Amino acid sequence: MSGSSNLVAMKKVVQQLRFEASINRVKVSQAAADLQQFCMQNALQDPLLTGVSSSTNPFRPQKAFILMLQGKVDLNTAPHAKPLYCHGISRV
């Protein structure tokens, strides 16, 4: 039985090699030229090259705002009034 299983395995290897030999190949120089042309054609739409506007960027840092707990207080005349800083709350 080992002889017939070996024959089956060798036929599979030959079939795979024939398949791989039938694939059309592209020269590396041609593939590199095609890739360079593609990159140049699409450079204006690439966010890594052009950046992302802050209004559409979901990963932009959240803005902080200051909430005064004592109402309208001039910090020059009332230095004891301390602002409360809130981070990570987006503006609505």
Structure confidence by residue, pLDDT tens digits, 44-73: 999 888 888 878 887 877 777 666 665 565
Residue spans in the chain of domains classed CATH 4.10.260.10: 1-54
pTM: 0.42
pLDDT band for 37, please (50, 70, 90 cuts).
very high
Is residue 86 pLDDT above 60, yes or no? no
**Distance between CA 17 and CA 29 in Å, rounded?**
25
DSSP 26-62: --HHHHHHHHHHHHHHTGGG-HHHH---TTT-TTSPP
Dihedral angle at the C-alpha atoms of 30, 31, 33, 38, nearest 10 degrees?
140
Q: For the domain bounded by 1-54, which CATH number is listed?
A: 4.10.260.10
